[in-house]
A and B are shown apart, each in its own frame.
Chain A
Amino acid sequence: MNKPILELKNVKTVVNKGTANETTILKGINLKINEGDFITIVGTNGAGKSTLFNVIGGNLQADSGQILHNGKDITHSTEEQRTTFLARVFQDPKLGTAPRMTVAENMLLAIKRGEKRHLVLRKLKQNMERFTKLAATMNNGLENRMTTATGALSGGQRQALSFLMATLKRPDILLLDEHTAALDPHTSLNLLHATNERINQDHLTALMITHHLEDALTYGNRLIVLKDGQVKADFKGEEKESLTTEKLYTYFED
């Protein structure tokens, strides 16, 4: 039995604490994520999917419970500290890249994810060839826009760049928060294919939130249904293979 790369033990979060609007979002999440898991996460609006990512990412602190990374307690470590092993792609293409910096400059920022940044010259030129090759793997012309400010890219290119940046320096855990939701169907499919390919090739451990049940079934080796702040179902391996959209849909009915 291999040790989980990330483990959540009875994690709870409360918003508006001490007021009349006090609400518990995550109501005791227990989750073991093993190395190489590619988990798709589905759930209704308000089920706590984004909150789960924020708690794992560290920009929201758990109110109780424990989070372990390779057995080490990281419940109280900050967002910046967790970037040493964790990378994220946001839903909004605007959030993942620095708009006034070029594609290559953004990639340069990303290869130092979680590292201390020193007062040494950045060495952009030396990395250009490698970056261009990597950009070409996204199959959307990104490699021809290396010196363009990312603010001038299309949403699809920006999001592809965000994904590329998240995987440039291998993360132990990759969080994909509906990262193709803002894109048109064709572009979205392209990026999903590229995502799947990269995750399988590099044997990355990834969690992907999606609202498309088909995507949740097609990709990954594990599927989690979140409902009302709890893990309602956790399908693995063959169990997931045999799952259908109809069956999955029943979880969304009251």
Chain B
Amino acid sequence: MGHHITDEQYKSQVSAVWRATIWLSVITIVEVVAALMWMNYVEPGTSKFLLNGFFIAASLLKAFFIVGEFMHVRYEFRALTLTILTPTIFLIWFIVAFLWEGDAWKNNRQRWDVQIEQGWKDPAKIEKHTGGHGHHGGDDHGDGEHH
């Protein structure tokens, strides 16, 4: 039984955990305060690029404390750490590819909305835009006429 852990190790581990707790709490409080101050003091419509960058960095820092200290990865063999953490590298591409796709989707959608809007006013115009693809333009065209 005694082989598990010495008193000194125990004490240092306990204080490391409370330190990580304080870090996690402070980071969360700073995040929420930043969100509230932005809401109250920054003009609406300002780009949130920097603020969002800060939120993401702060969340990754929190993840570091949870995985490193609470889940004990900081003290494990390097081989175990690598086998757990390296697969998550794929997430970088996963995120980039899908957000890119979402953005392209939005652009397409906005372009179509504009064309459909124009179509309502001038049914002849939408035929020009959609050409021979027929289906989409045809529906809108029909609606426009009934209107």
State whether these chains interact.
Answer: no
Give residues in A with beta carbon < 8 Å to B.
none
User: B residues engaging A (CB < 8 A)?
Assistant: none
